[in-house]
Amino acid sequence: MEKVLITGGDGLVGRHLTDKLQANGYEVAVLSRSEKMNKEISYFIWDVEHQTIDDSALENVNYIIHLAGAGVADKNWTAQRKREIISSRVDSAKLIYDQLPENHKVKAIVSASGAGYYGAVTSDRIFTEQDDSANDFLGDVCMQWETAIDTYKEKNIRTVKLRTGLVLSSFGGGLERMAKPFKMGFGAAIGSGKQYLPWIHIDDLCEMYLFALQNDTVKGAYNAVAPNHITNREFSEALAKCLAKKIRLPNVPGFILNLYLGEMAVLLLKGSRVSSQKIQDQGFKFHYTEIEKALENSLKK
Ligand SMILES: NC(=O)c1ccc[n+]([C@@H]2O[C@H](COP(=O)([O-])OP(=O)(O)OC[C@H]3O[C@@H](n4cnc5c(N)ncnc54)[C@H](OP(=O)(O)O)[C@@H]3O)[C@@H](O)[C@H]2O)c1
């Protein structure tokens, strides 16, 4: 049985992915900051800040999936929070790299990255994996995160980076927060409503991690976003429809979000189109291509 070590494996994506990997015959181990109870998973403790890791965490590992990271949308972006967002992704990747023994058995590392790689901009341009990282906070986070992953090539490990859009899931995450005002009847589009919202259903994302593990030709960066591009207005309308609600209010003005969220408001106010052609050309097939179907599935409990 091949063994997959998932960093941050107890989060939204990690839990779903663990089930998928186990169903496909993999043994799963999780690196976490705290002890957890689950008989079918071995948990190992690490402390990224102090650069310590359980001695046996890397034993017999065949694949690493790097999901760990302080939530980008969980707290306002103070200077300290920004450092934490970067360090929890970059220093964590370095910690594992430094601890890998000479005779390691790791064949590939597949890491999360973000569609924010291309920056907080609203335009009709369709970004592809060939584009450079943006010169803003999220662009910089993703660039540093991916650079840390690319160092693994020096240890003959195949590297894959999945630049992920908003993950739609029935188990929480951004969708749960976005759906709340709609459920209460005062949902509305945000800002101009014209900003694009790259998204992916959690089943497709976890299928893509599995696809990346199992296909040796999958290498480098891939956009993990559904093929259909939607604006914030279209997303809001689909969300309202799915919850059998009507949008009665005007768009939430951008300045209110700027006041309340500061720099982090760009997560809601900006967004471009991002292409999923590269992973599709590699043979990956999306199950959820339409937002309505993805929302319908994600909002059912
Ligand atoms: N969900 C999305 O919409 C989305 C979109 C784009 C990119 N991504 C990226 O995909 C990855 C997985 O997303 P997710 O939604 O599953 O995230 P999540 O639910 O927030 O889980 C991330 C995990 O990272 C660990 N973590 C948190 N803060 C940490 C810190 N300071 N140091 C080390 N570990 C820390 C936590 O595990 P422990 O508490 O067990 O240590 C947590 O469960 C993340 O890197 C995220 O940025 C997600």
pLDDT of residue 134: 96
Cα atoms in the 13 Å half-sphere on the side-chain side of 281: 9
Ligand 1 pocket by Cβ (under 6 Å): 8, 10-14, 32-33, 48, 67-72, 84, 88, 92, 112, 114, 164, 166-167, 173-174
Cα atoms in the 13 Å half-sphere on the side-chain side of 18: 22
For residue range 269-278, list pLDDT tens digits in order. 999 999 999 9
As given in the structure block, the two tokens for residue 89 are 């992704």
Band of the pLDDT at 39, cuts 50, 70, 90?
confident
The kind and range of the H/E element at 46 are strand 42-47
pLDDT at 201 over 90: yes
* Most ligand 1 atoms within 8 A of CB, residue of 5, 6, 13, 175 to mutate: 13
**Cβ contact 168:200 at 8 Å:** yes
pLDDT at 301 over 70: no
Closest CA to 230 of 280, 183, 292, 178: 292
Q: Which residues, in sequence order, are CB contacts of 20 under 8 Å at separation 6+?
A: 206, 207, 209, 210
Q: Which residues, in sequence order, are CB contacts of 148 under 8 Å at separation 6+?
A: 89, 90, 93, 94, 97
- DSSP string covering 56-117, please? TTTTT--EEEE-----TTTS---HHHHHHHHHHHHHHHHHHHHH--TT----EEEEEEEGGG
Distance from residue 246's CA to the centre of ligand 1 (Å) = 33
For residue range 41-97, list pLDDT tens digits in order. 999 999 999 999 998 999 999 999 999 999 999 999 999 999 999 999 999 999 999
For residue range 60-72, list pLDDT tens digits in order. 999 999 999 999 9
CATH superfamily of 3-232+261-299: NAD(P)-binding Rossmann-like Domain (3.40.50.720)
Band of the pLDDT at 124, cuts 50, 70, 90?
confident
pLDDT of residue 214: 97
- Ligand 1 atom with minimal separation from the 72 CA: 47
pLDDT of residue 175: 94
Percentage of the residues of the chain whose pLDDT score is greater than 90: 94
For residue range 207-230, list pLDDT tens digits in order. 999 999 999 999 999 999 999 999
Mean pLDDT of the region 13-18: 97
Distance CA 164, CA 175 (A): 14
Amino acid (one-letter) located at 54: D
Distance from residue 245's CA to the centre of ligand 1 (Å) = 31
Band of the pLDDT at 300, cuts 50, 70, 90?
confident
Amino acid (one-letter) located at 276: S
Mean pLDDT of the region 21-50: 93
